[in-house]
Amino acid sequence: MTGKPNEFLRPTPFIDADAPTIAAWAREHAAGAADTRDAAVKLYYAVRDGFRYDPYRVDLSVAGLRASATLANGYGWCVSKAVLLAAGCRALEIPARLGFADVRNHLSTERLRTQMKTDLFAWHGYTSIEIDGRWVKATPAFNLQLCEKFQLRPLEFDGREDSIYHPFDLAGNRHMEYVTERGEFADVPIDAMRETFAVMYPYLETLERADFEADVARET
């Protein structure tokens, strides 16, 4: 798993792939990998299921979105989990970048819809990983337990095909609609994200720090 000196391998303020905790975590979960693809797949599942999804704790600070912070917290939202996966890949010299899209999420909690006042989620994050000369999308946000509660097909990743959200859940209801592609970046485009969030979600900073999993359990 040798790398090449480019911007998608370097540590950044958010993707702190050089942090000792990130390097150790990546090596542990990629142990025994047969090749780069296998290592990336192992990291994907380590992020998807090892860190619970929690959209009630969106933090747009550098300290809050840093990969090593998510590693320490044990939870994250779509962007912070994508950052962690990118950091793990870069720690193993696998080129990775961050991709973003605006999505219409038809399966959120009543509390989240009420406080955000919309079902349009701007700057939904995923990880784009270079494997065998191709960039492949990986979305590790929703952990397996959450998918089971929401009756969603969990997103699998094989390192060959893009892994993005299904448009429908297992019952045939609308789940995720990709509205606008915002592109892929070497690091979190934090200024643009903050500007968008300030306009679209002015009440975000007052979002109640409730128990997301308890809300999901109650509503499902």
CATH number of the domain enclosing 153: 3.10.620
Asked if residue 2 is part of any domain, the answer here is no
In sequence order, the 6+-apart residues with CB closer than 8 A to the CB of 19 are: 11, 67, 68, 87
Question: Which structural domain range is residue 170 located in?
Answer: 20-219
Asked if residue 10 is part of any domain, the answer here is no
Of the two residues 140 and 149, the one the predictor is more confident about is: 140
Q: Can you give the pLDDT at residue 117?
A: 79
At residue 78, does pLDDT exceed 60?
yes
Number of independent structural domains in the chain: 1
Asked if residue 101 is part of any domain, the answer here is yes
Of the two residues 63 and 173, the one the predictor is more confident about is: 63
89 touches 43 (CB < 8 A): yes
Asked if residue 32 is part of any domain, the answer here is yes
Asked if residue 15 is part of any domain, the answer here is no
How many percent of the chain have pLDDT more than 70?
91
Asked if residue 96 is part of any domain, the answer here is yes
Asked if residue 143 is part of any domain, the answer here is yes
> Could you tell me the pTM of the whole model?
0.91
Average pLDDT, the chain: 89
Of the two residues 213 and 118, the one the predictor is more confident about is: 118
Q: How far apart are CA 107 and CA 168, in angstroms?
A: 10
Q: Can you give the pLDDT at residue 20?
A: 98
List helix spans (H) across 92-139.
Answer: 110-116
